[in-house]
Structure 1
Amino acid sequence: MFISSAIAATAEHAAEAGHHGPFYTQAEFWVGAAFVLVVALAFRKVFAAITAGLDARASQIKGRIDEAAKLREDAQALLAEYQRKQRDALQEAEAIVAHAKHEAARLKTEAEAAMEASIVRREKQAVERIAQAEAQAMAEVRNLAVDMAIAAANKMIAEKLAPDAQDLLIEDSIRGLSGKLH
């Protein structure tokens, strides 16, 4: 369009100037044609540079978009992995709590059984100690009674027996001891 309007303007200009003859013989035509050619060549180089710059920018933008898409995919994969790890950690925590509750119940049962056994054992020990104390008290009472009976018998014998009878009783007791000691 631009070229055709430049040519038309050159032709009109030549007609107005009073030049006759073919348009391509006129200097103005060649100046206009050279101008159009220079502008077209310059426009082509400028257009190529602009196009190359836009293509490079589009390539950079596409690279950034691809990188952003890759980063987004990586972030989604990482998020999914962390969500899975969180679920696993929650399940593990629930399992630990359940195990701890089970262990606590088991330990409570064992502690109750051990406490019961300890109470029974201590009660048995207390009964045995009481029985031992009773036996010891009975033995002490018996020994005391024997001692008192011997003392009373000695006193009675000393008061009521004659010295000859006492000697005879002592000799009898000594002979009786020799049979009991063997």
Structure 2
Amino acid sequence: MAFDASFFALVGLIIFLALLVYLKVPGMVAKSLDERADKIASELAEAKRLREEAQHVLAEYQRKRKEAEAEAASIVAAAEREAAALTAEAKAKTEEFVARRTALSEQKIKQAEDEAVNAVRSAAVDLAIAAAEKLLAAKTDAAVQENLFRNAVSEVKTRLN
């Protein structure tokens, strides 16, 4: 029997395969593949857990954002109400101030008018007294003047008491 190269290649192949089976290489390959599959599965589970956690955190932040927006809106509304109240109060105080100033100005004007009328009356009385004095001095003698002076002084005394 003649053995050619094909026969030796077949025998080498069978020995190689037997050696692989004897050294449990297929089991090691399967074990390695199983470990890799388990690792990938655990990574997928971790990724899924992280995704769910991220969605939960996102929902929480969205809820907090909405609460913050609502709170900001309420703060703005309160500030607007307060500004309106302050504006109304300032307007009322301004109107009150203007009314007081107007009343004070009217009072001062009335007082000035009264003083002017009194000054005119006083000047008229002084003028009338001076005119009466000149007229009496021209028409009366010393005895009549003395009598008139006494009467005027006594009348002033009675009015003062």
AA at the equivalent of 1:52: K
AA at the equivalent of 2:22: L
CA distance, structure 2, for counterparts of residue 166 and residue 54 of structure 1? 152
In the alignment, structure 1 segments of 5+ residues that lack a partner are: 1-15, 18-30
What is the deviation of 1:37?
A: 5.1
CA distance, structure 2, for counterparts of residue 47 and residue 169 of structure 1? 159
- Equivalent position of 1:136 in the other structure: 115
Q: 1:96 to 1:156 in 2, by over 3 A?
A: same
TM-score (structure 1 length as normaliser)? 0.67
Structure having greater relative contact order (Cα 8 Å, sep ≥ 6) = 1
Q: What count of residue pairs does the alignment treat as equivalent?
A: 151
Q: Deviations over 1:78-110 (max 9, x none)?
A: 111121122112222222333333334333433
| CA RMSD in angstroms, aligned pairs only | 2.8
Q: 1:106 to 1:74 in 2, by over 3 A?
A: same
What is the deviation of 1:116?
A: 3.4
- Equivalent position of 2:7 in the other structure: none
Identity value in percent: 41
> Looking at CA atoms only, which structure, 1 or 2, has the larger radius of gyration?
1
Aligned positions of 1:11-26 closer than 5 A: 16=1
Q: Deviations over 1:58-93 (max 9, x none)?
A: 232223222212221121111111211221122222
Structure 1 window deviating more from structure 2 (61-70 vs 74-83): it is: 61-70
- Equivalent position of 1:41 in the other structure: 22
CA distance, structure 2, for counterparts of residue 47 and residue 143 of structure 1? 139
Q: 1:50 to 1:37 in 2, by over 3 A?
A: closer
- Equivalent position of 1:126 in the other structure: 105
Moved over 4 A (4+): none
Q: Deviations over 1:29-78 (max 9, x none)?
A: xx99xx47544211x1x233323322332232223222212221121111
- Equivalent position of 2:8 in the other structure: none
